[in-house]
Amino acid sequence: MKEYISKAQNMNPALAEKLSLKECMIGNQAFYQHVAYVVVPMIIQNTLSNVVSLLDNVMVGQIGTIPMSAVAIVNQLLFVFYLCLWGAIAGAGIYSTQFFGKGDYEGVRYSMRFKIIMAFILCAGAILILYFAGPELISLYIAPGTPSADRAATMKYALQFLHIMLIGLVPFGITQCYAGVLRESGQTTLPMIASIAAMVLNFLLNLLLIFGYLGFPKLGVAGAGVATVIARMVEMLIVVWGAHRNKERYAFLIGVYDHFNIPKNMIKPILMKSLPLLCNEFLWSLGQAALLMCYSDRGIKVVAALNISNTISQIFNEVFLSLGNATSIVVGQELGAEHFANARRTAWRMAFLSLSSCLTMGFLLFLCAPMIPHIYNTEDAIRLLATHFIIVVSICMPINGFTNVAYFTLRSGGKTFVTFLFDSCFSWTVSVPAAFVLTHFTAIPIIQVYLFICLLELIKCGIGFGLVRKGGWVRNIVSSVA
């Protein structure tokens, strides 16, 4: 950053809060180069991942609407686990980001050990819960009026897919620990390479195992699960091997397994940051699952249409989602170095960048909405529903983009309890009750219900703007545990 900032102002959170919004909107060339270095590999990785998910979805959809809906239900259940895992290790991630910004590699290693321990605990718990309670959880997504034959077929496909996917939870957890600590140090290229290799393998195995090409067994839904599990194991091997092979570039991982001791004065602070994030991600993901259950009350066609919409929309959403993750990295490193004015300025610049990207990507998604659902082998009514859902997402994308950056800005300064209130509490006190009432006690068409629920995020926009502007998140949290 070449702008003139006095050292006293840069090191003082109170003075940093007085920076005007106008001077914080547009960055210089050095700022955008730094952000691009962090965020572009994430965007490439996650976008390709979502493209492969789209292709997986289309391939499974070729088998029929019921198999596609069954896979969508299982993915929603696994989504709860994924978010819980990310939340559990994100607390340690806040510390590793600031430790790296401070230049304290031993602190990064402590954070990494904490992540690995939490990942194994959560993976074991998720496998037990999903294996034994899978049928009951899946049945929650099947509307009461569904014909018995369709209900039985949905349950059969869903359980088949779920039991295979459980095998991939541990390699997924290990990969997330490594990818997280690499990203928090600003090293996003290796996770991108590992993910791209896994995605290509996943796609090829899907072709072979779902449809039985080249003499492979035709496994259908089970083939999609097997392909995903193998790809995740390969991804884990690449990222772990690459991280430990290049000791000069990833010096902060040297000796991470020499012992598994974590200083006692670090355990409580990390737990105090991790538990609210774990609870937040768990409750938020349950909130999203509850929203899907509310929408599914209008029939299995709505579930199928939402599955199409979510899969396609996620590709376009990835730019602002990656910018949110990048915000936690670039802002967190500034906070760790006690460059408070830079952190404040960077947060607003990231918000402006996210809004700008959302206007562009939202417009492109709006243009594509009528065309993309036609790649699915499903009913015209489901395609039409999916088109309308996608249009709603495109309209609301700037709203979601700003709330995402606000969330990660608050989290970068350790305000995890505030983000818990901001995120999951809002879902359960506002979004879910509104969706339940509208779907169960009114005859309002599902598209209008979906639009109304999405527009409720405007309330979060206002709250997030106020919290970021207030500046209570502008603080160094690693100095007291170093």
CA distances from 340 to 17, 102, 108, 307, 354 (A): 9, 13, 21, 42, 21
Structure tokens at 357: 């990207």
| Segment (H or E) for 228 | helix 221-245
pLDDT of residue 151: 87
Q: How many other CB atoms are found less than 10 A from the CB of residue 215?
A: 6
**Reported pTM:** 0.73
pLDDT of residue 5: 41
pLDDT of residue 174: 94
Q: How many other CB atoms are found less than 10 A from the CB of residue 322?
A: 24
pLDDT of residue 372: 82
Phi/psi of residue 474, nearest 5 degrees: -80, 90
Q: Average pLDDT of each block of 10 consecutive residues along the chain (482 residues)?
A: 43 49 65 80 76 73 82 84 84 82 84 91 94 90 79 91 94 92 83 88 91 89 92 94 88 84 82 81 83 83 84 84 85 82 86 90 92 80 91 93 90 80 87 92 92 93 89 75 54
Structure tokens at 117: 């321990």
pLDDT of residue 15: 45
Structure tokens at 303: 């579930």
pLDDT of residue 239: 93
| End-to-end Cα distance, the chain | 27
Length of the chain: 482
pLDDT of residue 8: 44
